[in-house]
Structure 1
Amino acid sequence: MSSESETTGDPAVAPTTTDATKQEKKPRSFLRELPILILVALVLSFLLQTFIARVYLIPSESMEPTLHGCAGCTGDRIVVEKIGYHFGEPQPGDVVVFRGPDSWSQDFVSTRSSNVVVRGAQELGSLVGLVPPDENDLVKRVIATGGQTVECCDEQGRILVDGTPLDEPYVVMDFPFVPGSQACDTALKSARCFGPVTVPDGHVWVMGDNRSNSADSRYHVGDDMQGTIPLDNVIGKAVFIALPPSRIGSISSPDIQGK
């Protein structure tokens, strides 16, 4: 009788433990995973741009020198934070980006292509932040909120909110105001003068820092909302200048009403 133990199967055919491990650990093809990675990146970008923050370029001189947008200069790209206003409302002194109401958007020209395919690609790119939104986005500073009365000017040419003058260190360029010769009660009236206007609840009164070159709430005071902006139109708060590198930094939102 043979003392050798019997074997089952053909050892030459059966896979070894090492071969099986190699098969299990074989990496998936990068080309197969690439579409998934791109899709995940696009979804994350969409969520970030829609609910958290987005970068905007709004070419306008109305916020000089706080934000650069002058003709011939490099405009500032600003980071607009969207989370805060889900838990609170804009405050006086905040720099906000908002969608212009109809009366503010009469001169707005769509940037979308007339070609259906190209327009579809532009809309898709807008969702993930690669293409600007096709809307009249504007940037101004909040001066008064719902229920407050705003007007200009006191004897020093300052804006009043509920009768109290504002401290506005960011205003560098403004219309002339000369007590006794060019004020709100003189024959030659200062262009600073407006109001009083009581801001409706759920709205804000906004103005550009460049007071002598800003089509803001003063300019639209004759419309159905007296120039105010509904809170539903406010996209978010401008908090940071991202580009150009020479101007990177935070955007000041001082407590202008001294509360």
Structure 2
Amino acid sequence: MTEDTRTQRDERATSGASSRRRSTLLFLRDLVVIFLVAVLVSFLIKTFLIRSFFIPSQSMEETLMQDDRIIVNQLVPEVTPIEHGDVVVFKDPGGWLPARADEARPPLVAVVDGFLAFVGLSAPDSNDHLVKRVVGLPGDHVVCCNALGQMTVNGVPLDEPYVALPPGETKVSRDDFDVTVPDDSLWVMGDNRYNSKDSRYNTGTPLEGFVPVENVVGRAVVVSWPISNWAWLDNYPEVFAGVDEAAG
């Protein structure tokens, strides 16, 4: 083999190795770009469109079970108005939730959970929010209970198939109430009526059980986890038929 031949072979080998390194670096660069774009898109979706919450209590059973994960449409109420029967997630109006001390967590767990929360795959603040069903909108007259144990809204009795009651109980609320919902506020109740710290339960708080619309994070639209509990969440328009017309 001549010296020129060896030189050409070495040059080809060097060129091939350099090309492979460039290809590897380009591949890694593309992976980083794809990852960053995915994180940014997830952040934007979580910030402006949808996000995940988990259910911390039994107050919405049997519609939502404790530890279920739900997907929340954050376009409600800014873009899409709240309707009767909507299941909404909202921030504590004041005095609904007990004070909760921050739990100490290993630094690595805190970092990972913080990142997952940033992209909307974790909901560490679920315990700072509540999930209830909207029964009264601004201006509604909500009363419980009539002779049949039903709640009425603007004089229209509600037949609520989603309500869970103790065996033998027909009254949809343990306590009677008669309220008119103020402007820009809601009257909300849990589906597990006798085990829910809802508007009825919180009439002694500063806002007398009413929830400001501005506290609403969004409307729960689907149970996403566990798979066995997957379901779209209905707002039962047939239950509230005639309520809006009666308000006039």
Q: 1:66 — aligned with what?
A: 63
Q: 2:164 — aligned with what?
A: 172
Tell me the SS of whatever aligns to 1:132. coil
Moved more, 136-145 or 122-131: 122-131
2:77 & 2:156 partners in 1: Cα distance?
Answer: 26
CA drift of 1:113 comes to 4.6
Moved more, 89-98 or 124-133: 124-133
Check whether the contact 2:94–2:206 (CA below 8 A) recurs between aligned residues.
Answer: no
Q: 2:145 — aligned with what?
A: 153
CA drift of 1:131 comes to 3.3
Check whether the contact 1:92–1:143 (CA below 8 A) recurs between aligned residues.
Answer: yes
Partner residue of 1:220 out of 193, 202, 211? 202
Moved more, 54-63 or 213-222: 54-63
**Residues 1:195 and 2:177 aligned together:** yes
1:80 & 1:208 partners in 2: Cα distance?
Answer: 17
Check whether the contact 2:89–2:131 (CA below 8 A) recurs between aligned residues.
Answer: yes
Check whether the contact 2:173–2:193 (CA below 8 A) recurs between aligned residues.
Answer: no
> Percent identical across equivalent pairs?
40
Matches of residues 94-113 of structure 1 in structure 2 within 5 Å?
94-111=86-103, 113=105
Q: Which amino acid aligns with 1:168?
A: E
Ranges in structure 1 where 5+ consecutive residues have no aligned partner: 1-18, 70-74, 184-189
**Residues 1:131 and 2:122 aligned together:** yes
Check whether the contact 1:174–1:210 (CA below 8 A) recurs between aligned residues.
Answer: no
Ranges in structure 2 where 5+ consecutive residues have no aligned partner: 1-14, 243-248
CA drift of 1:105 comes to 2.3
TM-score, length basis structure 2: 0.78
**Residues 1:258 and 2:247 aligned together:** no
**Residues 90/61 of structure 1: CA separation in 2 closer, same or farther (3 Å cut):** same
**Residues 174/152 of structure 1: CA separation in 2 closer, same or farther (3 Å cut):** farther
2:148 & 2:30 partners in 1: Cα distance?
Answer: 66
Q: Which structure has the larger Rg?
A: 1
CA drift of 1:111 comes to 4.7
Q: Which amino acid aligns with 1:258?
A: A
Tell me the number of residue pairs that the alignment of Structure 1 and Structure 2 aligns.
221
Q: 2:193 — aligned with what?
A: 211
Tell me the SS of whatever aligns to 2:38. helix
Check whether the contact 1:152–1:192 (CA below 8 A) recurs between aligned residues.
Answer: no
Check whether the contact 2:145–2:151 (CA below 8 A) recurs between aligned residues.
Answer: yes
CA drift of 1:95 comes to 0.8
1:80 & 1:118 partners in 2: Cα distance?
Answer: 25
Moved more, 127-136 or 37-46: 127-136
